[in-house]
Structure 1
Amino acid sequence: MAKRPTTPPPVPAADAPRPARKSGRPTSAKPPRPRAAKAAAAEQPAPAAAPGPAPEPPQSTEPSPGPAFAFPGEEQRQMIETLSLNLAKAAMTAQSAIAEAALAQADRPAALSPDPFNVGPAMTQVMTGLASRPDKLFAAQADLFNRYMDLWASTTRRAAGEEVSAPPSKDKRFKDPAWSENPMFDVMRQSYLATADWMNGLVSSVEDIDPRTKRRAEFFTKLLTDAFSPSNFLASNPVALKALAETNGESLVKGMQNFAADMERGAGKLKISQADYGRFEVGVNVATAPGQVVWRDELFELIQFDPATDKQRATPLLIFPPWINKFYILDLQPENSMIRWLSSQGFTVFVCSWVNPDVDKAGYGFDDYLQKGIYRAVEKALEQSRADHINTVGYCIGGTLMGAALAHMAEHGDDRVTANTFFAAQHDFAEAGDLLLFTDDHWLNEIEQQMDAAGGVLPGAAMADTFNALRANDLIWSFFVSNYLMGKDPPAFDLLFWNADQTRMPKKLHMDYLRSMYGQNALSQGQFEIGGIHADLSKIRIPLYFQASREDHIAPMNSVYRSARAFRNADVTLTLAGSGHIAGVVNPPSAKKYQHWINPALPDTLGEWQAGAEEHPGSWWNHWAEWLHARSGDWIPARDPNKGPLPAIEPAPGSYVKVKS
């Protein structure tokens, strides 16, 4: 019997599954299926293919395992990897910036006080007042409960498919449609607004406590509720989350890079960028009105600007800006430059550009700014223009000093100033707004120690932080969201560039200002001592033009109105402009923005004045120019700053304005 020939085992295909590795665990694998039939079939020759249609494949009797798991495609996989890497990069950037900030702050002295604004005692009095009226507190809690119930009822109806229309929010933080289109974010938005409104209202309802204490509690409660807005957090901001998804996390990476850059710029303290500071340069694309520095001393540079007309008024105009800022707010761009506009109207324009004081000026006070500032600038402007009289302008704190200087001049029979204009200037501080909250004894002692630590000057950033806090949503949180959560570049905005270009202030001058004006309201009461006299505003009898702004949060319109009435023996004209402390002043007629109100009378209250005022569209500048022309003498040949008695030192805007704090 012949032996059956043997066939070597087939070689597995390259993509055939390999046998599983043995493990130490017992297995419950099924016994192998017999392979004899397969081997026999493999040995038989394949039958010849018969003509005709191909046979259908055999139908399986086993149940289908269902659709296989859908792995992400290559594009989605790359997106997920990019998002993960960007999130990690953003986290590392933020952690590195915070770590460097901690190191930068490690060698600095700790904060002078854990509660520099004395909020704790104010809130204690508020809570005591609420506790003394349990019925009122219970009613407030019931009100909040009802607000939540109304919100949940409308949310439930919306979830059931019912059309529920919520009133549109006027709050700029929630203007994006994503806040209302998505039910989850809509509930978050509405619950926040309800709670914040309730909390602020509860504090405002407290009775029988000191009004200034109550206002301090209200102010800082508003700061707190603003800070906890869901728009300020990435996880609860649908607009930021949308940007995160659309850019695969690049928006957050850019945001954290912006955050790190601001931490570095603030030397370990977050200094939020409000503008693209690299886009502007003083003397290059801001502060470009042509002119010459014709006088310079230790306190100011006197700039005379080039004429824009063949004829000019005989009486020149000298502007005293606030020393808390730089003068080029009046000369940002050619199209909104008040200085250029005044020159085009035929006025000889001088500006006092204050020095950015360092520690060597720590002992300078109001007497120095009166004698070495106001008097010397008037003297040099008259000498340069060969005039006998001059008109002046005082802006903000420069106007406060100018009011005291006019009283000093009246006391000594000095009539060189024939008319004066005040922009957003206060002299009666009884209703000076929220800045009064920063002038109680507790805070004044705190800020005095801060200036001592800085060598006798107030750092420019300190005042910037205070002004920003007055409008936190606009000047802090909007940039926090845009720069860091959205990863956007700060805008190229000339006004915000100027706003960040702060100056230092001498300790003596600033403390006198805060204590005498805000603390004691001494100027309006004839108790402010300057130049060896007590300034008496009632002795001023020259024409005065007051400009106030309806939405001014630094020099509130009611405070400016009270100040105008404090000059009770002067010929006072008051105009109320639309907008705020800056845009209300810097509003050229060509812009055709806002409006202004005029009333020749000056009744007891601002409300009475407004009731009788006539509204006019656009800028108030033309009305002021008419007033100024009537008090500026005859027309004479235009004055060239290069041909005056004082030699030109250097072109405008000079050197002092370029000194950084």
Structure 2
Amino acid sequence: MTRMSVPNVKNSIDRAIHAVEGRMTNGLSPASIMVAYFDWLVHMAHSPGKVSEMSENFARKTVDFNIWAARATMDPDLPDFIQPLPEDRRFRSEEWKKFPFNVIAQGFLLKEQWWHYATMGIPGVSKHHESMVHFGARQWLDIISPTNFFATNPHVLKTTVEQSGQNLVKGAENFWNEVMRNIVDQHNAADSEYSVGKNLAVTKGKVVYRNRLVELIQYEPTTKKVDAEPVLIVPAWIMKYYILDLSQYNSLVKYLVDKGHTVFMISWHNPTAQDRDLDMEDYVIQGVMESLKAVTTIVPDQKVHGVGYCLGGTLLTIAAAAMARNEDDRFKTITLFTTQTDFSEAGELMLFIDESQISYMEDMMWDQGYLDTKQMSGAFQLLRSFDLVWSKMVSEYLLGEQPRVNDLMSWNADATRMPYKMHTQYLRRLFLDNDLAARRFEVGGKPISVSDIRTPMFAVATGKDHVAPWKSVYKIHQLVDTDVTFVLTNGGHNAGIVNEPGHPRRHYQIGTKLDNDKFVPPAEWAERHPVIDGSWWEPWEAWLTEHSSGKVTPPQVGTKGGDYDPICDAPGTYVFED
């Protein structure tokens, strides 16, 4: 007995150490990072040709830049030495075209270019480690960008002169308020203008079903007739559902209801340590399948339009594949918003996913029973450090501007946790091992295949998605044997989905691949399909109507005396769980 218990004790010690350490590293594994840099350094040391080439490149570029900088002192119209990337907004203002700031900006861009060259293309370095080192270099360069410092940012200097330094006083206030909010763990005070149930998530409806994992909301009809088939929306469990029911003007739920659809929405329970053993199958069965059972009971004899967002779309796909295996045809259509089903090219989020990193996260979650919201948000902030960290620092601390808050930002601050067992399975089986695409993912002890799905599909991807890159979302074409209508819209992972008609500067591309059509690579698809101004909500709603069987009298809300009596008003209770 004693000899068998020793390994468990040692394992517990290791886990405890990693759990404490993880709180200081924001969930990033030091071992994973060190291995990546060691791989890069060792192969760099064994590549004298590459080192010589880098040295020559550095010397040549430095001489050319110094000549350009000397000319730039006299010629304000001199073309840039280095053209910034199209998505780089840091040096676009006219202040950056004047000496000495033009030289400062161009010198920094030269440094970025050289580090890109130094971290990429080293023979022998694994692709994953190369990406990690390159990403780390970008993070370091983002920190030292001249836009982030008072003395090297012309816009900040100009504002300071114009306001006699009051911007710095206001910036100090903003900084102190932010420190105090972090100490007491409170949201921005300005968020008070947005409140769930007050001006967020206010579309009228009732909670008609509740279990340990979900509340199911049925929304009240606003039209005399509705499409016969109801809509069931499965949001990601990493987010509060009301991103799809924000303010009344940009609520997808309200848009659908006003267009004559019966809409149901899953609202996920925010897990605590007591939920540590909830697994992926619990989310499929208790989340999607139990909700679907409620919907088909309240609206009998009708199939259902299934809609999934992000991880909710992945979960919906898993449920649909399991149903297809059992010849369960209750879904009329399936719509996926920014949903990955093949994780082989899952974008920069894969930087944080390897065996070392997942093992480290498992130890952290083992200690507390869940993945904390701060640990998740840290990874997303790194992926968009300029937008989420440095531009915010400049605007609030150096320019003294009031923190900008809108409904989407308020929702973004209202994060949720992930239970230990489920999140471990999700990371390993989907991201690391890609079991769903490889037909190894099991539901009910049997593997499922996405190719069994015969239901027409509508998939939406966004062009600037750091979480689910559009070319990864596009892979659904290679996995299913059914008609797929695909939309590529501008915007990011969330802003591209909250895309109401009338929103300025919105556009999309759309095309349908029939079951028997040949596969078209994503880059070729983007070239073939024209850009259309407007919101993709409109063609999607028309697609839902096209795949419906006609108009009927709206069903009652709940079953009135049955198993799905209304429990409380929307937005329910789970959405308020901290």
Q: Same fold (TM over 0.5)?
A: yes
Of the candidates 476, 501, 518, which is equivalent to residue 563 of structure 1? 476
Of the candidates 243, 255, 260, which is equivalent to residue 176 of structure 2? 260
Q: Distance in 2 between matches of 1:230 and 1:491?
A: 23
Q: Distance in 2 between matches of 1:438 and 1:595?
A: 32
Of the candidates 200, 206, 209, which is equivalent to residue 122 of structure 2? 206
Q: Are 2:72 and 2:78, in contact at CA under 8 Å, matched by a contact in 1? A: no
User: CA offset at residue 149 of structure 1?
Assistant: 2.9
Number of the residue aligned with 2:7: none
For the pair 1:491 / 2:408, whether they are aligned, the reply is no
Q: Are 1:332 and 1:495, in contact at CA under 8 Å, matched by a contact in 2? A: yes
Number of the residue aligned with 1:626: 542
Q: Distance in 2 between matches of 1:648 and 1:124?
A: 59
Number of the residue aligned with 2:52: 138
Q: Are 1:423 and 1:547, in contact at CA under 8 Å, matched by a contact in 2? A: yes
**What amino acid maps onto 2:402 in structure 1?**
D
For the pair 1:365 / 2:283, whether they are aligned, the reply is no
Q: Distance in 1 between matches of 2:448 and 2:176?
A: 50
User: CA offset at residue 467 of structure 1?
Assistant: 1.2
Q: Distance in 1 between matches of 2:137 and 2:525?
A: 33
For the pair 1:321 / 2:250, whether they are aligned, the reply is no
**What amino acid maps onto 1:566 in structure 2?**
L
For the pair 1:428 / 2:342, whether they are aligned, the reply is yes
Number of the residue aligned with 1:176: 93
Number of the residue aligned with 1:654: 572
Number of the residue aligned with 2:528: 612
For the pair 1:379 / 2:293, whether they are aligned, the reply is yes
Residues 489-525 of structure 1: per-residue CA shift (max 9 Å, x gap): 1112211111121101101111100000110000011
Query: Relative to structure 2, which stretch is displaced further, 428-437 or 635-644?
Result: 635-644
Number of the residue aligned with 2:8: none
Number of the residue aligned with 1:465: 378
Task: Look up the SS of the partner of 1:600 in the other structure.
Answer: strand
Trace 1:101-500 onto structure 2 (pairs within 5 A).
109-111=20-22, 116=29, 118-159=32-73, 161-167=74-80, 171-181=88-98, 183-267=99-183, 276-453=190-367, 455-500=368-413
| Percent of residue pairs identical | 34
For the pair 1:572 / 2:484, whether they are aligned, the reply is yes
Number of residue equivalences? 547
Number of the residue aligned with 1:76: none
Q: Distance in 1 between matches of 2:542 and 2:77?
A: 55
Number of the residue aligned with 1:597: 509
**What amino acid maps onto 1:393 in structure 2?**
V
Which structure has the larger Rg over C-alpha atoms?
A: 1
Q: Distance in 1 between matches of 2:95 and 2:419?
A: 49
Of the candidates 488, 503, 516, which is equivalent to residue 429 of structure 2? 516
User: CA offset at residue 421 of structure 1?
Assistant: 0.8
Number of the residue aligned with 2:10: none
Task: Look up the SS of the partner of 1:447 in the other structure.
Answer: helix
Relative contact order (C-alpha < 8 Å, sep 6+): which is higher?
2
Q: Are 1:599 and 1:614, in contact at CA under 8 Å, matched by a contact in 2? A: no
Number of the residue aligned with 1:551: 464
**What amino acid maps onto 1:287 in structure 2?**
A
**What amino acid maps onto 1:544 in structure 2?**
M
Gaps of 5+ in 2: 1-18
Task: Look up the SS of the partner of 2:62 in the other structure.
Answer: helix
Q: Are 2:221 and 2:262, in contact at CA under 8 Å, matched by a contact in 1? A: yes
User: CA offset at residue 152 of structure 1?
Assistant: 2.7
User: CA offset at residue 440 of structure 1?
Assistant: 0.6
**What amino acid maps onto 1:497 in structure 2?**
S
Task: Look up the SS of the partner of 1:596 in the other structure.
Answer: strand
User: CA offset at residue 180 of structure 1?
Assistant: 2.5
Q: Distance in 2 between matches of 1:578 and 1:184?
A: 36
Number of the residue aligned with 1:87: none
Task: Look up the SS of the partner of 1:488 in the other structure.
Answer: coil
Task: Look up the SS of the partner of 1:266 in the other structure.
Answer: helix
For the pair 1:635 / 2:548, whether they are aligned, the reply is no
Task: Look up the SS of the partner of 1:225 in the other structure.
Answer: helix
Q: Distance in 2 between matches of 1:592 and 1:480?
A: 27
Q: Are 2:233 and 2:306, in contact at CA under 8 Å, matched by a contact in 1? A: yes
Residues 434-476 of structure 1: per-residue CA shift (max 9 Å, x gap): 11111111111221222233x2011112111111211111111
Q: Are 2:227 and 2:550, in contact at CA under 8 Å, matched by a contact in 1? A: yes
Task: Look up the SS of the partner of 2:215 in the other structure.
Answer: strand
Q: Distance in 1 between matches of 2:187 and 2:130?
A: 30
Inter-CA distance 210–486: structure 2 relative to 1 (3 Å threshold): same
Q: Distance in 1 between matches of 2:497 and 2:317?
A: 19
Q: Are 1:593 and 1:619, in contact at CA under 8 Å, matched by a contact in 2? A: no
**What amino acid maps onto 1:469 in structure 2?**
L
User: CA offset at residue 403 of structure 1?
Assistant: 1.0
User: CA offset at residue 477 of structure 1?
Assistant: 1.0
Q: Are 1:148 and 1:191, in contact at CA under 8 Å, matched by a contact in 2? A: no
Task: Look up the SS of the partner of 2:209 in the other structure.
Answer: strand
Structure 1 runs, 4 residues or longer, greater than 6 Å off: 112-115
CA RMSD between the two structures: 2.4
**What amino acid maps onto 2:129 in structure 1?**
T
**What amino acid maps onto 2:508 in structure 1?**
H
Task: Look up the SS of the partner of 1:589 in the other structure.
Answer: coil
Q: Distance in 2 between matches of 1:276 and 1:496?
A: 11
TM-score by length of 1: 0.78
Inter-CA distance 387–267: structure 2 relative to 1 (3 Å threshold): farther
Q: Distance in 1 between matches of 2:145 and 2:72?
A: 24
Task: Look up the SS of the partner of 1:351 in the other structure.
Answer: strand
Of the candidates 509, 520, 528, which is equivalent to residue 441 of structure 2? 528
Q: Are 1:314 and 1:387, in contact at CA under 8 Å, matched by a contact in 2? A: no
Q: Distance in 2 between matches of 1:381 and 1:144?
A: 64
Task: Look up the SS of the partner of 2:196 in the other structure.
Answer: coil
Task: Look up the SS of the partner of 2:475 in the other structure.
Answer: helix
Q: Distance in 2 between matches of 1:347 and 1:618?
A: 21
Gaps of 5+ in 1: 1-107
TM-score by length of 2: 0.89
Q: Distance in 2 between matches of 1:291 and 1:145?
A: 67
Inter-CA distance 624–609: structure 2 relative to 1 (3 Å threshold): same
Q: Distance in 1 between matches of 2:23 and 2:573?
A: 35
User: CA offset at residue 112 of structure 1?
Assistant: 6.4
Task: Look up the SS of the partner of 1:498 in the other structure.
Answer: helix
**What amino acid maps onto 1:511 in structure 2?**
T
Q: Distance in 2 between matches of 1:158 and 1:598?
A: 46
Number of the residue aligned with 1:505: 418
User: CA offset at residue 242 of structure 1?
Assistant: 3.2
Task: Look up the SS of the partner of 2:512 in the other structure.
Answer: coil
Task: Look up the SS of the partner of 1:174 in the other structure.
Answer: coil
